[in-house]
Protein backbone atom coordinates (compact mmCIF):
# COMPACT_ATOMS: atom_id res chain seq x y z
CA UNK A 1 0.00 0.00 0.00
CA UNK A 2 2.88 2.34 0.75
CA UNK A 3 4.21 1.83 -2.79
CA UNK A 4 0.77 2.43 -4.31
CA UNK A 5 0.35 5.71 -2.49
CA UNK A 6 3.84 6.96 -3.39
CA UNK A 7 3.67 6.27 -7.15
CA UNK A 8 1.24 9.08 -8.11
CA UNK A 9 3.33 11.48 -6.04
CA UNK A 10 6.48 10.39 -7.95
CA UNK A 11 4.77 10.81 -11.32
CA UNK A 12 3.51 14.25 -10.33
CA UNK A 13 7.00 15.32 -9.31
CA UNK A 14 8.44 14.09 -12.61
CA UNK A 15 5.81 15.97 -14.60
CA UNK A 16 6.47 19.12 -12.60
CA UNK A 17 10.20 18.80 -13.28
CA UNK A 18 9.57 18.40 -17.02
CA UNK A 19 7.34 21.44 -16.96
CA UNK A 20 10.09 23.47 -15.28
CA UNK A 21 12.63 22.34 -17.90
CA UNK A 22 10.24 23.28 -20.70
CA UNK A 23 9.69 26.70 -19.14
CA UNK A 24 13.44 27.22 -18.79
CA UNK A 25 14.03 26.31 -22.42
CA UNK A 26 11.21 28.60 -23.51
CA UNK A 27 12.70 31.44 -21.43
CA UNK A 28 16.15 31.23 -23.10
CA UNK A 29 16.36 34.27 -25.39
CA UNK A 30 16.78 33.58 -29.08
CA UNK A 31 20.29 34.24 -30.35
CA UNK A 32 20.22 37.01 -32.91
CA UNK A 33 21.45 35.89 -36.30
CA UNK A 34 24.75 37.57 -37.03
CA UNK A 35 25.23 39.05 -40.51
CA UNK A 36 27.67 37.07 -42.59
CA UNK A 37 31.08 38.66 -43.08
CA UNK A 38 32.46 38.23 -46.60
CA UNK A 39 36.13 38.38 -47.49
CA UNK A 40 36.85 40.43 -50.60
CA UNK A 41 36.77 38.14 -53.60
CA UNK A 42 34.44 35.47 -52.18
CA UNK A 43 31.32 36.84 -53.86
CA UNK A 44 30.27 39.10 -56.73
CA UNK A 45 29.78 42.73 -55.70
CA UNK A 46 27.10 44.86 -57.32
CA UNK A 47 24.70 47.70 -56.62
CA UNK A 48 23.12 47.07 -53.20
CA UNK A 49 25.92 44.94 -51.73
CA UNK A 50 27.02 45.79 -48.19
CA UNK A 51 29.84 44.66 -45.94
CA UNK A 52 33.55 44.72 -45.23
CA UNK A 53 34.36 43.41 -48.70
CA UNK A 54 32.63 46.47 -50.20
CA UNK A 55 34.72 48.68 -47.92
CA UNK A 56 37.86 46.88 -49.16
CA UNK A 57 36.77 47.52 -52.76
CA UNK A 58 36.19 51.23 -52.06
CA UNK A 59 39.63 51.61 -50.48
CA UNK A 60 41.23 49.71 -53.36
CA UNK A 61 39.57 51.94 -55.97
CA UNK A 62 40.85 55.02 -54.14
CA UNK A 63 44.38 53.62 -53.96
CA UNK A 64 44.27 52.78 -57.66
CA UNK A 65 43.35 56.31 -58.66
CA UNK A 66 39.53 56.35 -58.61
CA UNK A 67 38.42 58.39 -55.54
CA UNK A 68 35.56 56.60 -53.76
CA UNK A 69 33.80 57.22 -50.44
CA UNK A 70 34.51 54.48 -47.89
CA UNK A 71 31.23 53.49 -46.21
CA UNK A 72 30.81 49.76 -46.92
CA UNK A 73 27.72 50.31 -49.07
CA UNK A 74 27.75 49.65 -52.83
CA UNK A 75 25.63 52.65 -53.76
CA UNK A 76 25.41 54.83 -56.85
CA UNK A 77 28.72 56.55 -56.09
CA UNK A 78 30.60 53.25 -55.86
CA UNK A 79 28.81 52.03 -58.97
CA UNK A 80 30.07 55.05 -60.94
CA UNK A 81 33.58 54.54 -59.55
CA UNK A 82 33.58 50.89 -60.61
CA UNK A 83 32.46 51.87 -64.11
CA UNK A 84 35.24 54.49 -64.32
CA UNK A 85 37.77 51.92 -63.13
CA UNK A 86 36.54 49.37 -65.68
CA UNK A 87 36.91 51.91 -68.49
CA UNK A 88 40.46 52.71 -67.40
CA UNK A 89 41.40 49.03 -67.41
CA UNK A 90 39.54 48.11 -70.60
CA UNK A 91 37.29 45.67 -68.74
CA UNK A 92 33.60 45.12 -69.56
CA UNK A 93 31.81 48.19 -68.21
CA UNK A 94 28.88 46.95 -66.14
CA UNK A 95 29.49 48.29 -62.62
CA UNK A 96 29.90 44.76 -61.25
CA UNK A 97 32.98 43.22 -59.62
CA UNK A 98 33.18 39.47 -60.13
CA UNK A 99 35.35 37.17 -58.04
CA UNK A 100 37.83 36.98 -60.92
CA UNK A 101 38.03 40.77 -61.16
CA UNK A 102 38.41 41.02 -57.38
CA UNK A 103 41.48 38.78 -57.61
CA UNK A 104 42.97 41.07 -60.26
CA UNK A 105 42.26 44.13 -58.11
CA UNK A 106 44.03 42.51 -55.14
CA UNK A 107 47.13 41.95 -57.27
CA UNK A 108 47.12 45.53 -58.55
CA UNK A 109 46.81 46.94 -55.02
CA UNK A 110 49.67 44.71 -53.81
CA UNK A 111 51.91 45.93 -56.66
CA UNK A 112 51.10 49.58 -56.10
CA UNK A 113 51.33 50.15 -52.39
CA UNK A 114 51.10 53.87 -51.82
CA UNK A 115 53.76 55.38 -49.55
CA UNK A 116 52.92 58.88 -48.47
CA UNK A 117 50.01 61.22 -49.04
CA UNK A 118 50.51 64.76 -50.32
CA UNK A 119 48.28 67.67 -51.27
CA UNK A 120 48.06 70.06 -54.20
CA UNK A 121 50.30 73.04 -53.35
CA UNK A 122 50.45 71.51 -49.88
CA UNK A 123 52.56 72.17 -46.81
CA UNK A 124 54.98 69.49 -47.97
CA UNK A 125 55.57 68.10 -51.46
CA UNK A 126 56.85 64.80 -52.86
CA UNK A 127 60.36 64.97 -54.24
CA UNK A 128 62.97 62.76 -55.84
CA UNK A 129 66.64 63.28 -54.94
CA UNK A 130 69.08 63.27 -57.85
CA UNK A 131 72.86 63.27 -57.96
CA UNK A 132 74.52 64.74 -61.05
CA UNK A 133 78.01 63.99 -62.31
CA UNK A 134 78.45 67.21 -64.25
CA UNK A 135 76.81 70.46 -65.29
CA UNK A 136 73.68 69.95 -67.31
CA UNK A 137 70.02 68.93 -67.19
CA UNK A 138 68.00 65.79 -66.55
CA UNK A 139 64.36 64.80 -67.07
CA UNK A 140 61.94 63.74 -64.36
CA UNK A 141 58.40 62.72 -65.27
CA UNK A 142 55.33 62.45 -63.07
CA UNK A 143 53.42 59.32 -64.05
CA UNK A 144 49.80 58.52 -63.19
CA UNK A 145 49.67 55.00 -61.75
CA UNK A 146 46.04 54.49 -62.78
CA UNK A 147 46.50 55.41 -66.45
CA UNK A 148 50.23 55.03 -66.99
CA UNK A 149 50.28 58.46 -68.65
CA UNK A 150 52.71 61.31 -68.00
CA UNK A 151 50.99 64.29 -66.35
CA UNK A 152 53.99 66.58 -65.85
CA UNK A 153 57.60 66.79 -67.02
CA UNK A 154 60.31 68.48 -64.95
CA UNK A 155 63.77 69.53 -66.19
CA UNK A 156 66.10 70.07 -63.24
CA UNK A 157 69.43 71.72 -64.04
CA UNK A 158 72.75 71.31 -62.26
CA UNK A 159 75.67 73.72 -62.03
CA UNK A 160 78.32 71.07 -61.70
CA UNK A 161 78.20 67.78 -59.86
CA UNK A 162 76.10 67.48 -56.75
CA UNK A 163 72.67 66.56 -55.43
CA UNK A 164 69.30 68.25 -55.34
CA UNK A 165 65.72 67.25 -54.58
CA UNK A 166 63.22 67.84 -57.37
CA UNK A 167 59.78 68.65 -55.94
CA UNK A 168 56.32 68.41 -57.54
CA UNK A 169 53.53 70.57 -56.13
CA UNK A 170 50.69 68.88 -58.01
CA UNK A 171 50.59 71.30 -60.94
CA UNK A 172 50.02 70.10 -64.48
CA UNK A 173 49.74 72.06 -67.74
CA UNK A 174 46.57 74.12 -67.48
CA UNK A 175 45.83 73.46 -63.83
CA UNK A 176 46.44 70.81 -61.19
CA UNK A 177 46.41 67.02 -61.11
CA UNK A 178 43.22 65.17 -60.18
CA UNK A 179 43.16 63.08 -57.01
CA UNK A 180 45.08 59.89 -57.64
CA UNK A 181 48.27 57.88 -57.25
CA UNK A 182 51.45 59.07 -58.93
CA UNK A 183 55.15 58.30 -59.15
CA UNK A 184 58.23 60.45 -59.83
CA UNK A 185 60.59 58.83 -62.30
CA UNK A 186 63.99 59.86 -63.63
CA UNK A 187 63.41 59.08 -67.30
CA UNK A 188 66.54 60.64 -68.77
CA UNK A 189 69.89 61.26 -66.99
CA UNK A 190 70.46 63.97 -69.58
CA UNK A 191 73.64 65.98 -69.97
CA UNK A 192 73.99 66.03 -66.16
CA UNK A 193 74.24 62.23 -66.17
CA UNK A 194 72.00 62.23 -63.11
CA UNK A 195 70.91 59.23 -61.05
CA UNK A 196 68.07 58.87 -58.55
CA UNK A 197 69.46 58.28 -55.06
CA UNK A 198 66.55 58.89 -52.70
CA UNK A 199 63.38 60.76 -51.85
CA UNK A 200 59.85 59.68 -52.78
CA UNK A 201 60.75 56.82 -55.11
CA UNK A 202 57.58 54.78 -54.50
CA UNK A 203 54.03 55.63 -55.66
CA UNK A 204 52.27 58.23 -53.54
CA UNK A 205 48.84 59.77 -53.20
CA UNK A 206 48.25 63.34 -54.41
CA UNK A 207 45.01 64.98 -53.29
CA UNK A 208 43.38 68.38 -53.36
CA UNK A 209 42.10 68.17 -49.78
CA UNK A 210 43.43 67.05 -46.40
CA UNK A 211 41.16 65.61 -43.72
CA UNK A 212 40.91 68.30 -41.00
CA UNK A 213 41.27 66.03 -37.91
CA UNK A 214 44.14 63.58 -38.51
CA UNK A 215 43.96 61.93 -35.08
CA UNK A 216 41.33 59.56 -33.61
CA UNK A 217 37.82 60.87 -34.21
CA UNK A 218 34.20 59.94 -34.88
CA UNK A 219 31.35 61.58 -36.78
CA UNK A 220 28.93 61.50 -33.84
CA UNK A 221 25.27 60.58 -34.07
CA UNK A 222 22.25 62.07 -35.85
CA UNK A 223 22.52 65.27 -33.81
CA UNK A 224 25.99 65.90 -35.28
CA UNK A 225 24.77 65.86 -38.89
CA UNK A 226 24.14 68.70 -41.30
CA UNK A 227 20.50 69.78 -41.07
CA UNK A 228 19.95 68.44 -37.53
CA UNK A 229 17.42 70.59 -35.63
CA UNK A 230 18.71 73.30 -33.30
CA UNK A 231 16.91 75.93 -31.26
CA UNK A 232 15.54 78.32 -33.88
CA UNK A 233 17.68 76.98 -36.74
CA UNK A 234 19.26 73.89 -38.24
CA UNK A 235 22.82 72.62 -37.96
CA UNK A 236 24.89 73.99 -40.85
CA UNK A 237 27.88 71.69 -40.52
CA UNK A 238 29.17 68.29 -39.47
CA UNK A 239 30.53 67.75 -35.97
CA UNK A 240 33.71 65.66 -35.60
CA UNK A 241 34.17 64.67 -31.94
CA UNK A 242 37.83 64.26 -30.99
CA UNK A 243 40.10 64.66 -27.97
CA UNK A 244 40.73 68.18 -26.73
CA UNK A 245 43.98 69.55 -28.09
CA UNK A 246 44.20 67.36 -31.19
CA UNK A 247 45.61 69.02 -34.29
CA UNK A 248 43.32 70.54 -36.90
CA UNK A 249 44.70 70.81 -40.43
CA UNK A 250 44.02 73.12 -43.36
CA UNK A 251 41.84 71.17 -45.81
CA UNK A 252 42.72 73.11 -49.00
CA UNK A 253 45.54 75.51 -49.81
CA UNK A 254 44.29 79.08 -49.88
CA UNK A 255 43.90 82.05 -47.56
CA UNK A 256 42.36 82.78 -44.15
CA UNK A 257 39.24 84.91 -44.57
CA UNK A 258 38.13 85.25 -40.95
CA UNK A 259 39.80 84.67 -37.58
CA UNK A 260 37.41 85.64 -34.79
CA UNK A 261 35.61 84.70 -31.56
CA UNK A 262 31.90 84.30 -30.79
CA UNK A 263 31.06 83.58 -27.15
CA UNK A 264 27.44 82.60 -27.79
CA UNK A 265 28.14 80.22 -30.66
CA UNK A 266 31.28 79.35 -32.61
CA UNK A 267 33.86 80.17 -29.94
CA UNK A 268 37.25 80.62 -31.57
CA UNK A 269 36.80 80.02 -35.28
CA UNK A 270 38.44 80.49 -38.67
CA UNK A 271 37.11 80.62 -42.22
CA UNK A 272 39.46 79.34 -44.93
CA UNK A 273 39.04 80.12 -48.63
CA UNK A 274 40.24 77.44 -51.05
CA UNK A 275 42.39 78.79 -53.88
CA UNK A 276 41.58 76.01 -56.34
CA UNK A 277 37.84 75.57 -55.76
CA UNK A 278 36.74 78.98 -54.47
CA UNK A 279 34.82 77.24 -51.68
CA UNK A 280 35.07 78.06 -47.98
CA UNK A 281 35.67 75.78 -44.99
CA UNK A 282 34.70 76.89 -41.49
CA UNK A 283 36.37 75.55 -38.33
CA UNK A 284 34.53 76.27 -35.05
CA UNK A 285 35.12 75.74 -31.29
CA UNK A 286 38.93 75.86 -31.55
CA UNK A 287 40.72 75.44 -28.24
CA UNK A 288 42.50 78.79 -28.65
CA UNK A 289 42.79 81.50 -31.31
CA UNK A 290 44.39 80.28 -34.50
CA UNK A 291 47.88 81.57 -35.23
CA UNK A 292 46.85 82.66 -38.74
CA UNK A 293 45.42 86.16 -39.07
CA UNK A 294 42.92 87.06 -41.78
CA UNK A 295 44.72 87.39 -45.10
CA UNK A 296 47.37 84.77 -44.27
CA UNK A 297 48.16 82.21 -46.96
CA UNK A 298 47.86 78.62 -45.72
CA UNK A 299 48.60 75.22 -47.22
CA UNK A 300 46.73 71.91 -47.19
CA UNK A 301 48.04 69.69 -44.41
CA UNK A 302 49.31 72.64 -42.34
CA UNK A 303 48.10 72.93 -38.75
CA UNK A 304 45.55 75.73 -38.33
CA UNK A 305 44.47 75.11 -34.72
CA UNK A 306 43.48 72.57 -32.07
CA UNK A 307 40.23 70.79 -31.22
CA UNK A 308 38.40 72.53 -28.39
CA UNK A 309 35.00 73.31 -26.88
CA UNK A 310 34.92 77.11 -26.81
CA UNK A 311 31.70 79.04 -27.34
CA UNK A 312 28.41 77.14 -27.26
CA UNK A 313 29.81 73.60 -27.44
CA UNK A 314 29.10 70.36 -25.62
CA UNK A 315 32.37 68.47 -25.42
CA UNK A 316 35.47 68.84 -27.56
CA UNK A 317 34.82 68.60 -31.27
CA UNK A 318 35.36 70.36 -34.57
CA UNK A 319 32.22 71.89 -36.04
CA UNK A 320 33.11 71.86 -39.74
CA UNK A 321 31.18 73.69 -42.46
CA UNK A 322 31.53 73.78 -46.25
CA UNK A 323 30.22 76.67 -48.37
CA UNK A 324 29.91 76.89 -52.14
CA UNK A 325 31.75 79.63 -54.04
CA UNK A 326 32.12 82.50 -53.54
CA UNK A 327 32.05 81.54 -49.88
CA UNK A 328 30.82 82.00 -46.32
CA UNK A 329 28.10 84.67 -46.17
CA UNK A 330 29.42 86.37 -49.32
CA UNK A 331 27.04 84.72 -51.78
CA UNK A 332 27.77 81.05 -51.13
CA UNK A 333 25.53 78.46 -49.48
CA UNK A 334 26.26 75.80 -46.87
CA UNK A 335 26.06 72.14 -47.91
CA UNK A 336 26.47 68.76 -46.23
CA UNK A 337 30.24 68.15 -45.86
CA UNK A 338 29.97 64.53 -44.69
CA UNK A 339 30.43 62.86 -48.11
CA UNK A 340 33.60 64.87 -48.70
CA UNK A 341 34.84 64.18 -45.18
CA UNK A 342 34.33 60.43 -45.58
CA UNK A 343 36.35 60.50 -48.80
CA UNK A 344 39.15 62.65 -47.36
CA UNK A 345 39.24 60.41 -44.29
CA UNK A 346 39.73 57.34 -46.52
CA UNK A 347 43.29 58.32 -47.47
CA UNK A 348 44.31 60.05 -44.25
Give the confidence band of 333 by pLDDT, cuts at 50, 70, 90: very high
What confidence score (pLDDT) does residue 19 get?
54
CB 248 within 8 Å of CB 283: yes
276 burial (CB, 10 Å; 0-12 / 13-18 / 19+) is middle
How far from each other are the two terminal CA atoms of the chain, in whole angstroms?
Answer: 87
Q: What is the tens place of the pLDDT at every residue in 150-161?
A: 999 999 999 988
The model's pLDDT over 15-59, given as tens digits with 9 standing for 90+, comes to 455 555 455 444 445 545 566 889 999 999 999 999 989 989 988
- Containing H/E element for 163? strand 162-167
pLDDT digits (tens, 9 = 90+) for 63-96: 777 878 788 899 999 999 999 899 888 899 999 9
Burial of 239 (0-12, 13-18, 19+ CB in 10 A): buried
pTM of the model: 0.71
Domains of the chain in sequence order? 52-111 (1.10.101), 117-207 (2.60.40.4070), 222-346 (2.70.70.10)
Amino acid sequence: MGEGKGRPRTVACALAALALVAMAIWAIPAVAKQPRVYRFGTRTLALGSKGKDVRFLQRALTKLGVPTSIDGVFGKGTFRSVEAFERQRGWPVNGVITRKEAKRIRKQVAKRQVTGSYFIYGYSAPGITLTARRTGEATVKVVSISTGGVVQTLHPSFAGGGSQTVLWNGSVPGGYAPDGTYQLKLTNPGTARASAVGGQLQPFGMHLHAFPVPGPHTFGGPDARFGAPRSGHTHQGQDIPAACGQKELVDESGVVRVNAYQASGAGYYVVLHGAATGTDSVYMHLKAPSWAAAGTGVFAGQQIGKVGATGDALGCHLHFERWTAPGWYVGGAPYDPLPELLYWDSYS
